[in-house]
Amino acid sequence: MTALPLIGPVEKAVKHIVDAVAGFGELQPLLEDASIEELWINGPSEVFVAREGRSELTSITLTESRIRDLVERMLKSSGRRLDLSMPAI
C-alpha cells in the first residue's frame, strides 16, 4: 500500500479548504490582506493588487474558467449575474 503525501499543518489545510469552498479560493488571502487597496484581473496570468497606490503583479495564475467561476461567485453575493451578451458590469 502506498502512503499518501502529508498535507502539512492541519490549520493550513483547513484554511485552504474553507477558502476554496466558502471564499474566493486563491484570491482569498489577497482579499483578507488589509494592506491591499484594490485587486483586479486583466487575464489568467495578470492578477494585480494595489498597495499604497502602487500596482503590483501577483504570482497568481488562473484559468479562463476559474476566472469565470470567481466572477460568478462574486456577483452572486451581490444579486447580479454574468451576462456574456452584455459583459459590462
- The three-class DSSP label of residue 88 is coil
Position 22 scores a pLDDT of 75
Position 86 scores a pLDDT of 65
Amino acid at 67: I
Q: For residues 89 and 45, what is the distance between their CA atoms, to the nearest angstrom? A: 22
Position 56 scores a pLDDT of 96
Position 35 scores a pLDDT of 97
Render each residue's pLDDT in the chain as its tens digit; 89 residues: 677 777 778 888 777 777 677 778 899 999 999 999 999 999 999 999 999 999 999 999 999 999 988 988 888 878 777 776 766 55
Amino acid at 53: G
Position 58 scores a pLDDT of 96
Contact between 53 and 37 (Cβ < 8 Å): yes
Phi and psi (nearest 5°) for 52? 50, 40
Instruction: Please report, in angstroms and rounded to a whole number, the separation of the first and last CA atoms in the chain.
Output: 52
Q: What is the CA radius of gyration of the chain?
A: 16
